[in-house]
Amino acid sequence: MKLTEKEIEIIEILEKDARIPIETLAKMVSLSVKETEAIMKKLEEMKVIVQYAALVDWRKVDGHEGVTAMIDVKVTPKRGVGFDEVAERIYRFPEVKSVYLMSGAYDLSVVIEGRSMSEVAQFVSEKLSTLDSVISTTTHFILKKYKHDGTVFDQGDQDRRIVMAP
């Protein structure tokens, strides 16, 4: 679908800060509040704007640190549906936060969150690797998040540096 320059401008601003006051947004794009609201409503109805979400640094909340893992998954695509069917089966698990079709050595990249490494390992061994189309998996645990969706975490935080031995 083709969007106008104003629609794209509004999307780009909201993508950086979805909580910007509508009056400020309208001024930034040189439209009235009513026109800006109408464009936002249209973009929401067309599912161009899918949802508004908060980016949370859970490490700062006691008892909610959790574990995030990126899992490379090699699968056998099914005739007629390709990777879509197995990707759908994977993204239906509540632990799964994202699923991407990838180029390269693996077919899918799956991001999951759990309370512990053993919970993630249990998910991989009991749910993910047992799916018919899954050939193999490689799990990578995220040790520290430096930047996510364009936002830098703990900029200047010297207390929590992770130092890896050579």
Q: At 115, is the pLDDT very low, low, confident or very high (cuts 50, 70, 90)?
A: confident
Write out pLDDT tens, residues 25-76: 999 999 999 999 999 999 999 999 988 877 766 667 777 678 899 999 999 9
User: Looking at per-residue confidence, does 150 or 156 come out higher?
Assistant: 150
The two structure tokens encoding residue 126: 């009991």
At residue 17, the pLDDT reads 86
Find residue 1's DSSP bridge partners.
none
Q: Does pLDDT of 165 surpass 80?
A: no
First to last CA, the chain: 50
Average pLDDT rounded to a whole number, residues 115-133:
93
Q: How confident is the model at residue 147, as a pLDDT?
A: 84
User: Parallel, antiparallel, or unpaired: how do β-strands 108-114 and 96-101 relate?
Assistant: antiparallel
H or E, element range at 140: strand 134-141
Measured distance CA(163)–CA(160) in Å, rounded: 9
**Mean pLDDT, rounded, for 134-162:** 77
pLDDT in tens, 72-85: 999 998 888 889 99
Q: Hey, what domains does the chain have and what are their CATH numbers?
A: 5-46 (1.10.10), 60-143 (3.30.70.920)
95-111 pLDDT per residue, tens: 999 999 999 999 999 99
CA distance 15 to 3: 16
- Give the rounded percent of residues in the chain with a pLDDT score beyond 70: 89
Q: What is the CA radius of gyration of the chain?
A: 20
